Amino acid sequence: MPLDSAALATRRAPTHPAPTSLFLTESIDTPARMSSTTNSSSFSQDEIIDALRAELIEQERINGLARKAVEQCLIDIKKEKGNNRKLLAEIAQLRAGKEAVSQITSSDMDKGLEEVRSSDINSGQDETSSLLRLESELRQLQIRYDALLEEKQVADRRFESHYRKCKNFKSWLMRGERCVPSNKKITTGVKRRVHRMRQHLVQSSSSRQLSEDTSEEVHGGRSVSILNIVKSDENALPLRNTEASVSDKLDAVDDIIIDHSDSSSNEQSRAVQGRTSRAAALYDTKRTLLNNNQELGSGRTPPGYWNIGFPDTQEVAIINNQINVV
């Protein structure tokens, strides 16, 4: 059955919590309104009971929500009271700290300043001590460097002297390496003084003295006297700077040229060549032989051979050990 507007209004009650007094007034006024509605229109008793039951359920729900809201408010109030107590305790601590700070006197401030100054002085002393230590170490290193530099200079001078000695010794030892042997016949004339002595001995000596053997042993060899030389060959020592000595020298040079050269141009007749042309040929031949000897004699030692220093005792010992191992 359709309900009237009053029943619908009672069903559409607000869901938000309402004050208790308002709820009581509304509950009190409800039967009057229902009576008025019953007077105005006829409703069945069951419908009225259902409407009242629904209204009661709604009011109970509203009462439950209000009760929960009140309990939540009480819980929040308790929490706020606890927070207030904590804040009061912190405020009390801050006030106590402020009072303790305010109780610091000027003497305590002076004492703190003195402590700060003493700490600064101690730090300055530590810095000065570290600087002094570094200066002492630097001085010791400088002394050591000077000593090492002096030792190096002494070693350089000793090396230079040893190098010079070794080079001189090698040059003396190898002085004959660049000399090339040759088959040149050396013919030297006899001085006039020796020739006159020989003539005097030949004229004044007897046949008995010339026939005697006057050789004697000297230092493991035999020394032959001038008498045996004169007896064996009286014309073996021609006079110097004579025509015969010059011709003999040129003939000997021609023999050398023939022996050392395969060329047939040097084998010219001695009768055809004059004294001037033969002397010029001798000069050219000597120059040629000298140049050849210089070319053959150069480069006997490897480059840098003379740059070897004089070895010291330790190097000599190492070299000997290596030789023994090999």
Q: What is the mean pLDDT of each run of 10 residues along the chain (326 residues)?
A: 44 44 43 48 79 90 90 89 86 83 68 74 80 91 93 91 84 62 51 53 49 49 48 48 61 58 49 67 79 58 59 68 72
Q: Print the SS3 string covering the chain.
A: CCCCHHHHHHHCCCCCCCCHHHHHHHHHHHHHHHHHHHHHCCCCHHHHHHHHHHHHHHHHHHHHHHHHHHHHHHHHHHHHHHHHHHHHHHHHHHHHHHHHHHCCCHHHHHHHHHHHHHHHHHHHHHHHHHHHHHHHHHHHHHHHHHHHHHHHHHHHHHHHHHHHHHHHHHHHHCCCCCCCCCCCCCCCCECHHHHHHHHHHHHHCCHHHHHCCCCEEECCEEECCHHHHHHHCCCCCCECCCHHHHHHHHHHHHHHHHHHCCCCCCCCCCCCCCHHHHHHHHHHHHHHHHHHHHHHHCCCCCCCHHHCCCCCHHHHHHHHHHHHHC
Which among 227, 225, 207 is positioned nearest to 216, based on CA atoms?
225
pLDDT value for 7:
45
Q: State residue 100's pLDDT score.
A: 77
Cα separation of 180 and 290, whole Å? 10
* pLDDT for residue 140: 92
Q: Which residues contact 3 (CB under 8 A, 6 or more apart)?
A: 11, 47, 51
Please indicate, yes or no, whether the overall pTM of this predicted structure exceeds 0.75.
Answer: no
**For the chain, what are the domain ranges?**
5-100, 122-177+303-326, 192-300
Res 137: pLDDT: 92
The pLDDT score that the predictor gives to residue 194 is 52
Q: How far apart are CA 94 and CA 100, in angstroms?
A: 10
What pLDDT, on the 0 to 100 scale, is given for residue 167? Answer: 83
Which pLDDT belongs to residue 94? 87
- What is the distance between the alpha carbons of residues 9 and 210, in angstroms, rounded to a whole number? 193
Structure tokens at 317: 């010992």
pLDDT of residue 149: 93
